[in-house]
Amino acid sequence: MTDKTIGWSFVAALICGAACGGGMESQACKDYFAAVETCAAKAPAPKGDILRKMAATSKEGFAKNSNPMAVSESCKGMLTSLQADPDCK
Protein backbone atom coordinates (compact mmCIF):
# COMPACT_ATOMS: atom_id res chain seq x y z
CA MET A 1 0.00 0.00 0.00
CA THR A 2 1.26 3.44 -0.81
CA ASP A 3 1.24 6.35 1.57
CA LYS A 4 -1.45 8.01 -0.55
CA THR A 5 -3.72 4.95 -0.30
CA ILE A 6 -3.20 4.72 3.45
CA GLY A 7 -3.97 8.43 3.78
CA TRP A 8 -7.21 8.15 1.81
CA SER A 9 -8.24 5.07 3.78
CA PHE A 10 -7.71 7.00 6.99
CA VAL A 11 -9.76 9.94 5.74
CA ALA A 12 -12.55 7.60 4.62
CA ALA A 13 -12.56 5.93 8.05
CA LEU A 14 -12.84 9.30 9.78
CA ILE A 15 -15.69 10.39 7.54
CA CYS A 16 -17.51 7.12 8.09
CA GLY A 17 -16.95 7.41 11.83
CA ALA A 18 -18.60 10.80 11.79
CA ALA A 19 -21.33 9.98 9.30
CA CYS A 20 -22.07 6.38 10.25
CA GLY A 21 -23.41 7.25 13.67
CA GLY A 22 -20.51 6.37 15.92
CA GLY A 23 -20.14 7.66 19.45
CA MET A 24 -22.95 8.49 21.83
CA GLU A 25 -25.38 8.88 18.92
CA SER A 26 -24.73 5.36 17.63
CA GLN A 27 -27.58 2.88 17.69
CA ALA A 28 -25.55 0.67 20.05
CA CYS A 29 -25.33 3.47 22.63
CA LYS A 30 -28.98 4.43 22.25
CA ASP A 31 -29.93 0.78 22.74
CA TYR A 32 -27.61 0.40 25.73
CA PHE A 33 -28.89 3.45 27.62
CA ALA A 34 -32.52 2.49 26.91
CA ALA A 35 -31.80 -1.06 28.14
CA VAL A 36 -30.24 0.32 31.33
CA GLU A 37 -33.45 2.18 32.16
CA THR A 38 -35.58 -0.87 31.42
CA CYS A 39 -33.35 -3.14 33.46
CA ALA A 40 -33.05 -0.68 36.35
CA ALA A 41 -36.83 -0.59 36.58
CA LYS A 42 -36.97 -4.41 36.84
CA ALA A 43 -33.95 -4.94 39.09
CA PRO A 44 -34.03 -4.88 42.90
CA ALA A 45 -33.66 -1.38 44.39
CA PRO A 46 -29.92 -1.24 45.08
CA LYS A 47 -29.02 -2.82 41.75
CA GLY A 48 -31.28 -0.48 39.78
CA ASP A 49 -29.62 2.54 41.38
CA ILE A 50 -26.17 1.12 40.67
CA LEU A 51 -27.06 0.51 37.01
CA ARG A 52 -28.25 4.09 36.61
CA LYS A 53 -25.09 5.47 38.25
CA MET A 54 -22.88 3.28 36.05
CA ALA A 55 -24.70 4.53 32.94
CA ALA A 56 -24.25 8.15 34.04
CA THR A 57 -20.54 7.55 34.63
CA SER A 58 -20.25 5.93 31.20
CA LYS A 59 -21.91 8.93 29.56
CA GLU A 60 -19.42 11.26 31.24
CA GLY A 61 -16.48 9.16 30.09
CA PHE A 62 -17.84 8.79 26.56
CA ALA A 63 -18.27 12.56 26.28
CA LYS A 64 -14.51 12.91 26.85
CA ASN A 65 -13.58 10.17 24.34
CA SER A 66 -12.59 11.52 20.93
CA ASN A 67 -12.94 8.13 19.20
CA PRO A 68 -16.59 7.61 18.21
CA MET A 69 -16.03 4.04 17.03
CA ALA A 70 -14.48 3.07 20.39
CA VAL A 71 -17.48 4.55 22.20
CA SER A 72 -19.87 2.62 19.97
CA GLU A 73 -17.97 -0.63 20.51
CA SER A 74 -17.98 -0.06 24.27
CA CYS A 75 -21.74 0.39 24.19
CA LYS A 76 -22.11 -2.85 22.23
CA GLY A 77 -20.07 -4.73 24.82
CA MET A 78 -21.94 -3.26 27.75
CA LEU A 79 -25.28 -3.98 26.07
CA THR A 80 -24.29 -7.62 25.59
CA SER A 81 -23.39 -7.90 29.28
CA LEU A 82 -26.60 -6.20 30.34
CA GLN A 83 -28.71 -8.50 28.17
CA ALA A 84 -27.08 -11.52 29.86
CA ASP A 85 -27.93 -10.21 33.36
CA PRO A 86 -30.68 -12.38 34.89
CA ASP A 87 -32.21 -9.38 36.69
CA CYS A 88 -32.78 -7.72 33.32
CA LYS A 89 -34.80 -10.47 31.73
Does the pLDDT value for residue 76 go beyond 50?
Answer: yes
Does the pLDDT value for residue 9 go beyond 80?
Answer: no
| Per-residue pLDDT tens digits for 34-52 | 999 999 999 998 999 999 9
Residue scoring higher pLDDT (43 or 16): 43
pTM value > 0.85? no
Which pLDDT does position 37 carry in this prediction?
96
Determine contact, residues 42/87, Cβ cutoff 8 Å.
yes
Q: How far apart are CA 43 and CA 46, in angstroms?
A: 8
What lies within 8 Å, CB to CB, of 11 at 6+ separation is none
Q: How far apart are CA 30 and CA 69, in angstroms?
A: 14
What lies within 8 Å, CB to CB, of 40 at 6+ separation is 47, 48, 49, 51, 52
- At residue 17, what is the residue type? G
Which pLDDT does position 20 carry in this prediction?
53
